[in-house]
Amino acid sequence: QQQVKQSPQSLIVQKGGISIINCAYENTAFDYFPWYQQFPGKGPALLIAIRPDVSEKKEGRFTISFNKSAKQFSLHIMDSQPGDSATYFCAAASSGGYQKVTFGTGTKLQVIP
Amino acid sequence: GAVVSQHPSWVICKSGTSVKIECRSLDFQATTMFWYRQFPKQSLMLMATSNEGSKATYEQGVEKDKFLINHASLTLSTLTVTSAHPEDSSFYICSARDVRKSGEQFFGPGTRLTVL
């Protein structure tokens, strides 16, 4: 019930392309879905987050799409750049994020020139 | 705003010794801090939840006596790895929750522990 499944495990995208990472969850109590970006040797940094009352949230080149009925959400990175190369983690939490965060397994993104 | 620091950023110690890692919220008060462990190319695994002024809540399978957590103030939590062994070598990351920002968690830069 606490799992968050993430795919793909790794992703190679050409510069300027769209990177898409998908996640699915099981626990219907989850109501806060953040995405984190992590560079090697660094802690994760919050990229963007969504709550289930909206189906999409966009911040710059980053968009979260959320499908409550399917219990799925995805991250789209538009116009991907080499500087976006990092590991991305989706996550989920309940009580608006006040409860502990459950992380997905991570996606290593490589954007090639 | 919402900066979390960790000290040290890396530490090498001999087997059998104890190591203390500090986590500080620099510009906000954090009633709750979390400690994670991350092995290479793996996800973050929550070890324990630390609440200011009370005992930490440990996740299943995490040894309380080995990983001592103290949250003595609203800006500082410490993780002490006692009698460290090579299998404790890992990347330890803390996060702090900023209640002013809808419970959003902010992560520290991590501490790389290597036990020889």
Percent of chain B beyond pLDDT 90? 74
> What stretch of H or E contains B54?
none
Look over chain A and give the mean of its residue pLDDT values, rounded to a whole number.
93
Which of A40, A58, A39 is CA-nearest to residue A48? A58
CA–CA distance, B74 with A33 (Å, rounded to integer):
26
B62 φψ region: left (φ > 0), alpha (ψ -120 to 50), beta (else): beta
Give the nearest partner residue to A97 out of B103, B108, B112, using CB atoms: B103
Q: Does residue B103 surpass a pLDDT of 80?
A: no
CA–CA distance, B82 with B90 (Å, rounded to integer):
14
> What is the per-residue pLDDT across B28-69, written as a single tens digit (0 to 9) for each?
888 889 999 999 989 999 999 988 888 899 999 999 999 999
Say yes or no for a CB contact (<8 Å) between B106 and A46: yes
A97 inside 8 A of chain B by CB = yes
All residues at 6 or more sequence positions from B113 whose CB lies less than 8 Å from its CB, including other chains? B10, B11, B13, B19, B21, B81, B84, B88, B89, B90, B91, B92
Say yes or no for a CB contact (<8 Å) between A106 and B6: no
B104 inside 8 A of chain A by CB = yes
CA–CA distance, B103 with B42 (Å, rounded to integer):
25
| pLDDT grade for A40, boundaries at 50, 70 and 90 | very high
A52 inside 8 A of chain B by CB = no
Q: Does residue B101 surpass a pLDDT of 90?
A: no
Q: Output the pLDDT for position A98.
A: 64
Q: Does residue B21 surpass a pLDDT of 80?
A: yes
Chain B residues touching A49 at Cβ < 8 A:
104
> What is the per-residue pLDDT across A71-108, written as a single tens digit (0 to 9) for each?
999 999 999 999 999 999 999 988 755 678 899 999 99
